[in-house]
Structures are given as C-alpha cells and as structure tokens.
Amino acid sequence: MRTLIVAVCLLLPLTAEGAQIFEKVGTLGGQSLKIGVGARAAAMGDAYVALADDATAVYWNPAGIARLSGQSVTLNHTSWPAEILFDQAAYVFNIKWIPGMLGVNVRALTMSRDIVRTTYLPDGTGDTFDAGEWAYGISYARSLTDKFSAGISANYVQTGLADVKGKSTTFDFGTLYDIGLLGAKIGMSIQNVGSDMTFLNEKVKMPTFFRVGGSVNLLQRGDSRVLTVAEFTHPSDNSEKVNWGAEYAFHDYLFLLTAAHRVSVNVSF
C-alpha cells in the first residue's frame, strides 16, 4: 500500500505537466504554417531565426533577406506518407529605386484526390475530393544600420477540404542584430499574427509563434568553420521549446550538421 501511494505521488506531477503540454494541441487552424522550410534549417533543429542568411529567411525571419544581395531563389519539396506533399518556393530580389530587399514566396500542403465513401457506399460514390492548405506571401526588409535590420511579411492563407474553403491574412515581423564579436547575431521573429480563419462557420485562430535566438562562429581557421545556433520558441498551441544546432563547414562545399531539441522535461536527439 505504501508503495502504491508513493507511485501515485510521483506520477501526479508528471501527469499534470503532460496535460499542460498537450492541452492546446490541435485547437488552432493553419497547421501547415508551422512546417519549417529548408534542408539546412531542418538539419540545425529549426534553430534558424538568428541565422536566416538565405532565401528561406522569408519564413524564419524576414529581416534576414536584408543581408542578401542580388537575387536568391529557394525550392523545397517533401513527400510524406499517404501521398501528402509539402512544397515551398521563394524568390528574393531588389529594385533599384526601393531601398532594401523584397521577397515573394508560396507554400502548399497538398494530397492526391481520394474517393468519396459513405456508410452505404464504402467502395465509393463515384465522386472524388481533395484537401490542402496554401500560403502566398510578400516580404520586405531593410538594414537600418550596419548592424541592425528589420523585416515584415504579409501572407494570404487558404485551407480547402472538398468544396469547403477557409481563408486568413497573417503577418510576420522580424529583427536581426550583429553583435560584432565572432560573427555573433541575435534574431527575433513573431509569426502568423492576423485574422482568424472561418471554416464551416467556425472561427479558428492561427498558430502564432514567437522565436528568439542567437548564432556565433566558434571556429574560423583556414577553410574550416564551426557555427552554432540556439533558439527559444513559444508557440500558441504547445509548450515552449529550445532548439540547438551546429554546423561544420569545409571550404563551403562540405557541411556536417547536428541538432537537438528540448521540450519541457524530455530531450530527444
């Protein structure tokens, strides 16, 4: 009996914390907006807000595109089980008479058409349907000083299931600051702030994200470079998370990356 009481006392805090972690999961719309883009960002554990030095910055931190020059393009394609596809494309450019950089991007989570089935016609009615979520965005960023840049993105988001549609307009804001020592930078972004999406006469909120992080060059010797990044993320529908990543680069053509995530009390690699 004493053993049972001790076990219950030990389990209660964990159960309460677990319930707190998952109490808001699945309560918001626009879930595809939470999917990160770019192989490098994924390999660094999604700790990218303070790095954001390529065209994928339109997603992670729009302030990052202010550091680019000329034109930059990124294309990403992911194939998931059940024939679900995630695609993303971004184009960053500048116009001579507009100070700063501009970017346009599109994201799409789609599935192949499936058969409409009912209780009485389990083999299909002869009709088909599809589902997906699309986001179209435009970004603008500018370096306000030689160390500080800021950016903003506006996104049009649309969700579809068969003939039912939902739409929303969201905004992302970001800043990036060079500390000036060891290439260290501090980045911050707020994502998906905007209007609720109306779907089947029900209003659902968008998954707002707050990210803040830092990056630093630990080693720069000859053709070798070691970069590390860390990021704190606060989503509106889950618990806070700390991401960490590191990258070893040799002559800018060989890259080795590692990452880790820490969520509440458990760590996974």
The Cα 14–Cα 8 span in angstroms is: 10
pLDDT digit of tens for each residue in the chain (269 aa)? 444 333 334 334 444 444 455 556 666 777 888 888 988 888 888 889 998 889 999 999 999 999 998 899 999 998 888 888 999 999 999 998 899 999 999 999 998 888 888 888 888 888 887 888 999 999 999 999 989 999 999 999 998 888 888 889 999 999 999 998 888 999 999 999 988 888 777 888 888 989 999 999 887 777 778 888 999 988 888 888 888 888 887 776 555 655 555 544 333 33
If you search the block for the tokens 């506006």, which residue do you land on? Answer: 154
Residues 6+ apart with CB under 8 A from 92: 55, 57, 58, 65, 68, 71, 72, 73, 101, 102, 103, 139
The Cα 96–Cα 164 span in angstroms is: 43
The Cα 29–Cα 202 span in angstroms is: 11
